[in-house]
Structure 1
Amino acid sequence: MKLRGKLCLLLGIMLVNAVQMSTKGQQRKNILFLVVDDLRPDIGCYGDQRAYTPNIDKLAERGVVFRNAYCQQAVCSPSRTSMLTGLRPDETGVHDLQVHFRENLPGAVTLPQHFKGNGYFTASVGKIFHNSKRTLDSVSWTEEISPFDGNTYVLPENRSGKGKQRATEMADVPDTAYSDGKIAEDAIRLLAEAGRTDNPFFIAVGFKKPHAPFCAPKRYWDLYERSAFGVVHRERPVGSPELSFHQWQELRGYSDVPDAGPIPPEQEQELIHGYYACISYVDAQIGRLMDELETLGLSDSTIIVLWGDHGYHLGEQDLWCKSTNFELDVRVPLIIAAPGMAGNGSATDAMVESVDIYPTLNELCGIPMAGLSGISLRPLLAQPSMSWDYPAFSQFVRPYPAIHNSKRASHMGYSVRIPGWRCTYWYDLEKNTVAAKELYRLDNGGDMETENIVGKSARSRKAEKRLSYLLNQYRNGQYRKVQN
């Protein structure tokens, strides 16, 4: 009996350990985090019938597509900093391309750093934090492959001189001739390396396209007819304040783009064609990574996240590039494919934010953390059609040069999005007063602002009253998301 009791006790301990190991294994999924630079939702699974994106569309079939996801500030470093810290721009103090968040928050724990501290192998390749030496964060990674490797241009005429050359390039070369093909190769090596370890992994892969210049191998340009492209809705929204706009300074820095005035229609077509070619080029690299997961037998144990850091203008609303509070700049693609979730293969219209990604992955992997500004999207992964009554906030500085030094900012535009509406208030930072107001009716995902209707009707005044209250809470740091 004593022997039987000992055997039963031993078996019981073994069973408990097995259950704990099983539970731990279910919680501690691997993470493959795909970050795409300047990608707006011009993707097949978002309804864009021109876009050739078979691999991203395949990923969408495995996960949940967030049709209404919004970044916190539509330029690279502030947006990426918010997502990676789980904090909003006013909390990180990062509103430009120069400030490192650790100057303001030396003890902040980033998303990959949190996973690293919980036993994950964390690695990055390509552009994850902003692509400058002063804005990297080595403490976040077990292994970091330099984001500065790879070619922007391959044609000799574009590789002479310093700085920006042509805004587009088409070359009949292999994928690896440009940066993103090399990034994919390095990521494949990291996946194989991580797959041989006992620890779960968090691998972040930062693709640099479709950020300008629009350079991609010829085969991706050949997927499209240039005649299919042209600027649509190029008029500014009626009644919008001048603060809402800029002079396309980012695009005008390229050698073949006019320093002022309109862009010739033929060049507009070329630019948009190049943007789509770059999307398809990145899509192919994502397909390579998904295939490698299958080859390694890791698909069923790996959560894949696809996120664009902000949207983009392609001539609409008298704008090119990003750096506004308009829908085209702040709405981003977000797909989360978490194995076993009931909502996989569906889409949700819920309003969500980039700051929600950090707590979502924490919950999916069983490693919670307090003090984040977003909330977990896991309920939407289980039930995409559920009620979700949260606004989405964005903001931007003016004048435009303040994105290089936010100390030069004279105004901050705070914007809130709820179903059907966008409201933006521009604050004079010196006077602490509202300098301009915007209110737009937006009925469907993918709409853009056409008329500023502040004060135009009883309905608009009622909407503005509600939204201005939210903006005031947000600006004063009083708004907090709370999971229902």
Structure 2
Amino acid sequence: MKLNRRQAITAIGAASVTSACATARSMPMSRERPNILWIVSEDNNPFIGAYGDPLAHTPNIDAMARGGILYRNVYSNAPVCAPSRFCLLTGINPESAAPANHMRAEARLPDFIRTYPEYLRALGYYCTNNSKTDYNCKIEPDAIWDESSRDAHYRNRPEGAPFMAVFNTEITHESRLFGVTEGKVSPEDVRVPPYLPDSPEVRRDFASYYNLMEKMDLFVGDRLRELEEAGLAEDTIVFYYSDNGGCMPRSKRYCYEEGQRVAMVVHVPEKWRHLAPVPAGSEIAAPVSFIDFVPTLLSLVGEQQPREMPGKAFLGQNIADPKVYAFGMRNRMDERYDFIRTVTDGRYRYIRNYMPHRPWGQVVGFEWMLRSYQDWHARYLAGELTPVQSRFFEPKPYEEFYDLAADPDEIDNLAGNPGSGSGVLNAMRKALDEHMLAINDNGFIPEGSLLEGYVESRQPGAYPLAQVMALAARAAGGTADEVDALAAELSSDNEVIRYWAATGLLIRGEGAAPFAGAMQAALEAESSPQVRVVLAEGLIHVGRAEAGVTELARLLADSSAEMVRLQALNALTYVADPSTAMPAVEALVDDPGYLGRAASYLARVQDGTFDPHVSLMPPWREPGSQ
């Protein structure tokens, strides 16, 4: 069999992963190791009885919690699956290896970064995945798993081999809310958070979500019974967790609790109880993040984590001290660009919006398939919402800060008036800055730049992150009197510096008008198409609309890079009169991917036919593919 690049990764000691796996299986195990089973559900918050939800019907997960460990504050690294699954697979933050920080991208893994199945297979584990991958990087599942398919199962392992098995269910996936799921919970039973309209559509989606959770719980019970019937329960450590936060409006894709907080219950049988930090039936409140999962797997099998992994093991032989913070992020989600970083300690959440000129609620075709989103947006357009409910569709503040105990719905932003929480706010600001520097956060690099990548962004002088972060903070959160300093950076030799200087001028809108000439000259000299997009949009807001729209139309029609075209479409979406660019926009309406969705929305808005209730998705697209 011909080996691809991933199969040929060199293991420590010069043996390849493939040969290491074969060698380990041909030799007797030096010591016994536990089997490990991951049961993974999609797109759900802890709408679970064990977490105190009175409407939930989740008896299997509840029973697992009573005999196991319930982790109360567990967070995905991103509020959507693909970047989160990159983190779960590699133990590396997706924003450390752009474009893995974007939804549906193909990051390049350097050869020294190995995935957890590779580590475990080298120790003799039989590793199976059933069956979702969505790893957001250029990796072939068949190269890292013994089997990755809908038929993959630990029962297929060689006799005597320990196993690591993943079973993923899509029962609670966002797409399952495109219809109605009847069950024990009715629309009149649910609580509607104040940031959403209390409408029949919103109530139906909440009720369906609860009823899907009940069905998902049955899947968990089936996997547990299957393990018991195979006589393997006492040899197997079982994790149940969800792959990102929920999928109700303002959940998936958004950096709030409901977008990032997930459920996790771990059952450690008596035989392996020494690998758990607390007795059965306990709860742990200290934050846990997906970045901690691979170090925990390695700790469970007695291996040290590589130094490039920043996470902390929470089970096993190398349990670390409890974490203080869990960090989260968002960059492009589907066809829409945003840039958000966040940190929580389980009591407070701090959010930093590096693109405050964009609203939270940018129309995303797949997301808007939910009737609750459709209803929410339609009521906004009709002027029927309260100020708290309308906020989602309006520009963002640079900073948000919430007391989750007093305000679990995260609607009272204390960033401007934190009161007694000011010390926590300042500590979280500092912690977030330190974290971003420590992981070499690639999020400031525009998508498609040659600077993206774990290795590329670390080349000397390529990506001066501390300087970039200081500039981006001035660009997104600074004052009007800094506009001259931003304009001066348009002549920098570094593409990322120029990008954030241009972004700062764009954010200031008409306030950047005195520098319209400098912006025009910078556009004419600019070699980076990503920077050209931002400069062109900025020109439109400083009295040079014709030049700006013409350039965006050119980039849209002429660029061979899909991401540059998508960035141009996003810019045109926020232009008052993009009419001269509309032929180039309309040429993309039938594109089956992100370009088509963004182009369709813009075209419908411009011709007056946009209706939130009418899908932007191609009719042939499978509903469960996000």
Q: CA–CA distance in 2 between the matches of 1:85 and 1:452?
A: 35
> What residue number does 2:289 align with?
353
> What residue number does 1:165 align with?
none
> What residue number does 1:364 align with?
300
> What residue number does 1:90 align with?
95
Pairwise CA distance, 1:225: 3.3
Question: TM-score, normalising length from structure 2?
Answer: 0.54
Pairwise CA distance, 1:295: 0.9
Write 1 or 2 for the structure with the bigger share of helix: 2
Pairwise CA distance, 1:79: 0.8
> What residue number does 1:330 align with?
260
> What residue number does 2:429 align with?
468
Pairwise CA distance, 1:60: 1.4
Where 1:213 maps in the other structure, the secondary structure is helix
Where 1:425 maps in the other structure, the secondary structure is strand
Correspondence 1:125-204 to 2 at 5 A: 125-130=130-135, 137-146=141-150, 186=151, 190-194=153-157, 197-204=159-166
Where 1:404 maps in the other structure, the secondary structure is coil
1:377 equivalenced with 2:284 (yes/no):
no
Pairwise CA distance, 1:293: 0.9
Pairwise CA distance, 1:308: 0.9
Distance 1:104 1:412, change over 3 A: farther
| Preserved contact between residue 45 and residue 263 of structure 2 (Cα < 8 Å) | yes
Q: CA–CA distance in 1 between the matches of 2:428 and 2:114?
A: 32
Pairwise CA distance, 1:381: 11
Letter in 2 for 1:377: F
Distance 1:428 1:230, change over 3 A: closer
Question: TM-score, normalising length from structure 1?
Answer: 0.69
| Preserved contact between residue 38 and residue 209 of structure 1 (Cα < 8 Å) | no
Where 2:31 maps in the other structure, the secondary structure is helix
Q: CA–CA distance in 2 between the matches of 1:360 and 1:420?
A: 24
| Preserved contact between residue 187 and residue 200 of structure 2 (Cα < 8 Å) | no
Deviations 1:239-261 (A, max 9, x none): xxxxxxxxxxxxxxxxxxxxxxx
1:450 equivalenced with 2:387 (yes/no):
no
Pairwise CA distance, 1:453: 1.0
1:69 equivalenced with 2:74 (yes/no):
yes
Q: CA–CA distance in 2 between the matches of 1:133 and 1:50?
A: 38
Distance 1:396 1:271, change over 3 A: same
Q: CA–CA distance in 2 between the matches of 1:55 and 1:424?
A: 35
Deviations 1:142-170 (A, max 9, x none): 01115xxxxxxxxxxxxxxxxxxxxxxxx
Pairwise CA distance, 1:85: 0.9
> What residue number does 1:300 align with?
234
Superposed CA RMSD:
3.4
> What residue number does 1:170 align with?
none
Pairwise CA distance, 1:468: 0.9
Correspondence 1:385-396 to 2 at 5 A: 388-396=322-330
Runs of 5+ in structure 1 lacking a partner?
A: 1-20, 147-185, 236-261
> What residue number does 1:414 align with?
341
Q: CA–CA distance in 1 between the matches of 2:422 and 2:178?
A: 48
Q: CA–CA distance in 1 between the matches of 2:430 and 2:325?
A: 12
Distance 1:363 1:457, change over 3 A: closer
1:99 equivalenced with 2:124 (yes/no):
no
Decide which of 351, 354, 377 is 1:424's aligned counterpart: 351
Pairwise CA distance, 1:477: 2.2
| Preserved contact between residue 69 and residue 266 of structure 2 (Cα < 8 Å) | yes
Letter in 2 for 1:199: A
| Preserved contact between residue 427 and residue 435 of structure 1 (Cα < 8 Å) | no
Distance 1:144 1:70, change over 3 A: same
Deviations 1:165-189 (A, max 9, x none): xxxxxxxxxxxxxxxxxxxxx46xx
Write 1 or 2 for the structure with the bigger share of strand: 1
> What residue number does 2:117 align with?
112
Letter in 1 for 2:31: K
Pairwise CA distance, 1:230: 4.9
1:309 equivalenced with 2:316 (yes/no):
no
| Preserved contact between residue 82 and residue 92 of structure 1 (Cα < 8 Å) | no
Q: CA–CA distance in 2 between the matches of 1:199 and 1:376?
A: 24
Distance 1:389 1:353, change over 3 A: closer
Letter in 2 for 1:374: G
> What residue number does 2:208 align with?
274
| Preserved contact between residue 43 and residue 247 of structure 2 (Cα < 8 Å) | no
Pairwise CA distance, 1:23: 7.6
| Preserved contact between residue 32 and residue 202 of structure 1 (Cα < 8 Å) | yes
| Preserved contact between residue 120 and residue 200 of structure 1 (Cα < 8 Å) | yes
Q: CA–CA distance in 2 between the matches of 1:208 and 1:135?
A: 22
Pairwise CA distance, 1:104: 4.3
State percent identity of aligned pairs.
24
Where 1:206 maps in the other structure, the secondary structure is strand
Pairwise CA distance, 1:358: 1.2
Q: CA–CA distance in 2 between the matches of 1:429 and 1:439?
A: 15
Distance 1:122 1:419, change over 3 A: closer
Decide which of 219, 230, 253 is 1:285's aligned counterpart: 219
Q: CA–CA distance in 2 between the matches of 1:133 and 1:92?
A: 9
Pairwise CA distance, 1:36: 0.9
Q: CA–CA distance in 2 between the matches of 1:113 and 1:305?
A: 20
Where 1:395 maps in the other structure, the secondary structure is strand
| Preserved contact between residue 190 and residue 203 of structure 2 (Cα < 8 Å) | yes
1:231 equivalenced with 2:192 (yes/no):
yes
Letter in 2 for 1:415: T
Distance 1:136 1:286, change over 3 A: farther
Higher relative contact order (CA 8 A, sep 6+): 1
Letter in 1 for 2:315: R
Distance 1:336 1:380, change over 3 A: farther
Q: CA–CA distance in 1 between the matches of 2:318 and 2:171?
A: 28
Aligned positions, number? 369
